[in-house]
Amino acid sequence: MQPIMTVAELNAFLDREFPQIHVDGRIYEIEAVAPGEAVLSVKASEKHLRPGGTISGPTMMALADLAAYAVILAHIGPVALAVTTNLNMNFLRKPEPGDLVGTCRLLKLGKRLAVTECAITGRAGGDLVAHATATYSIPPR
């Protein structure tokens, strides 16, 4: 399945429809789209850290959710009202401070539901720090 939206088109859509994600600057970035996949990153700063120097769960959950949204839209087009119906997150390791990368794959893309999985690592790669699955409801087109 080939994406129908480019990185530039996805970023423009998010900038237009969800400007609030950039209220603290452009910390979430769509880096790539490919058949069945999208790669996003978050520039985690001091305010994304929890005691002990780990990146917060909500920061990783936002990355996983946004990555799911991006991979779905990349393949169905700009549908602002596609919404998360389920997000399951497994925190596997303490992520070190710094950028995180989420690689999100489509597991199922139907007419009304889409299911994704997102693997989150540090920018340098290595072991997974978190894994998420998400289900999105797609409105009738």
- Residue 21's domain is classified under what CATH number? 3.10.129.10
Joined together, the tokens standing for residue 102 give 């989420």
Q: pLDDT value at position 104?
A: 98
Residue 126 pLDDT level (bands cut at 50, 70, 90):
confident
How many domains are there within the chain? 1
Residue 87 pLDDT level (bands cut at 50, 70, 90):
very high
Average pLDDT of the chain, as a whole number: 93
Q: Is residue 2 part of a domain?
A: no
Determine the Cα–Cα distance for residues 136 and 129; give it in Å rounded to an integer.
Answer: 23
- Mean pLDDT over residues 52-79, rounded? 94
Determine the Cα–Cα distance for residues 3 and 19; give it in Å rounded to an integer.
Answer: 23
- Mean pLDDT over residues 16-44, rounded? 92
What domain range is 65 assigned to?
7-137
Residue 49 pLDDT level (bands cut at 50, 70, 90):
confident
Q: Is residue 24 part of a domain?
A: yes
Q: Is residue 98 part of a domain?
A: yes
Q: Is residue 1 part of a domain?
A: no
Q: Is residue 28 part of a domain?
A: yes
pTM summary value = 0.94
Q: pLDDT value at position 52?
A: 84
Q: Which of 42, 44, 59, 58 is nearest to 101 (CA)?
A: 42
- Mean pLDDT over residues 129-137, rounded? 98
pLDDT of 141 over the 80 cut: no
